[in-house]
Amino acid sequence: MVRQQPHTNQTPPLENGDRLSRHEFERRYTAKPDIKKAELIEGIVYVASPLRFERHAEPHGNLVGWLWTYRIATPGVKLGIDPTVRLDQDNEPQPDGVLLIDHQLGGQSRLTEDDYIEGAPELAAEIAASSAAYDLHDKKKAYRRNGIQEYIVWQILENRLDWFCLSESEYVPLEPDANGMIKSQVMPGLWLAVSALLTGDMVRVLAVLQEGLNSPEHQNFVKQLSEHK
């Protein structure tokens, strides 16, 4: 009986819990086109489960609608949905959404020749099931260490939204003002009516955002970006 030799050039599967370098993670991920979303966080692989509608897809859509409205009113700012981000050798996340300033206009990340984000986008947003999710632990540490300036985490089960701003290498929570709004420190004019978002009142969310887009801060930001061209 002749024993068949194993194929030494076969790419191993990509599985939850694997501990890989970023290079090996990309190699296995590229070889598995059936996997729609996988992340490398602090050297550990996380493969996404099928997404529920009310627990992820619908709030994700509302969050993206808010970010997209800001992006189209702010030339020089780009929006990405589930982009692969090469942060460092142990971290390659796919945030639910990012806002970044064009590298040619002073942004801190750039697009590589193979069309991935390299470096830290200015803002990242995630939909998390709860406060126990890795989005608020290892991923948050990786985002902070790599200099993502603002980080939004919407915890669906707790119906809570946290917005962190990087200050002296630490994430400090931004608190709603007297009107229940949080205002971005890195994307001027990006205003959020937190309670309205949590209850699905997108008319109110977009009305408050429009106030931010009409503000002098946003107008000055757009002017600054245009002067970089």
pLDDT tens column, 13-63: 899 899 999 999 999 999 988 888 999 999 999 998 888 898 899 999 999
The CATH number of the structural domain formed by 52-227 is: 3.90.1570.10
Q: How far apart are CA 48 and CA 16, in angstroms?
A: 9
User: Does the pLDDT value for residue 184 go beyond 50?
Assistant: yes
What's the confidence (pLDDT) of residue 5? 47
What's the confidence (pLDDT) of residue 134? 85
Beta strands in the chain (DSSP E): 38-41, 44-47, 77-80, 85-86, 97-101, 110-111, 117-118, 123-128, 150-155, 160-167, 170-173, 181-183, 191-193
pTM tops 0.75, yes or no? yes
Per-domain residue ranges of the chain: 52-227
Residue position matching structure tokens 């700012």: 77
pLDDT tens column, 73-124: 999 999 999 999 999 999 999 999 999 999 999 999 999 999 999 999 999 9
pLDDT-based confidence at 1, cuts 50/70/90? very low
